[in-house]
Amino acid sequence: HHTSSFCLPEIDAAGMLILLDKAGVACSAGSACHSGSLHSSSVLGAMGISARDAACTLRVSFHRFNTKPEAEEAAHKVIECAHKLRAERGDDGMVVTH
């Protein structure tokens, strides 16, 4: 109930992790049981998620003391970082907005 996983199609999770870390947002990618590596999540595979989408999936965990404003700020930073990665590769067709 405190962990969420979301896919940003065509956005490399490894690149997002670097940008999000610089923005002060801690999250993970890959398999939780292979912490520190980007092995695809066996759970996502079992759910029928393609390897391509799994490579674009981030996982975020919340603590009971996290506030709604903290979660909203993190979400805005995720959107900003995704826009930045898309812009760097020349893709301006992103539909996500604030």
Positive or negative CA dihedral for 9, 44, 30, 73? positive
CA dihedral 20→25→28→32, nearest 10 degrees, is 170
Summarize the confidence of residues 63-73 as an average pLDDT: 94
Average pLDDT, the chain: 85
**What are the distances in angstroms from CA 3 to CA 21, 30, 86, 91?**
18, 14, 26, 30
Give the pTM. Answer: 0.78
Task: Check: CB of residue 56 under 8 Å from CB of residue 11.
Answer: yes
pLDDT digits 0-9 by tens, 52-63: 998 899 999 999
Concerning whether 7 is annotated as a catalytic residue, the answer is no
pLDDT for the residue numbered 97: 46
**Out of 7, 33, 56, 81, which one is annotated catalytic?**
33
Structure tokens at 14: 């490894």
pLDDT at 1 exceeding the cut of 90? no
Q: Which of 79, 63, 62, 64 is nearest to 23 (CA)?
A: 79
Report the DSSP pairing between strands 57-61 and 28-29.
antiparallel
Task: Give per-residue pLDDT as tens, 19-55.
Answer: 999 999 999 987 666 555 556 678 888 888 888 998 8
Q: Rank 26-30, 51-55, 79-83, 90-94 by mean pLDDT and report only the highest.
A: 79-83
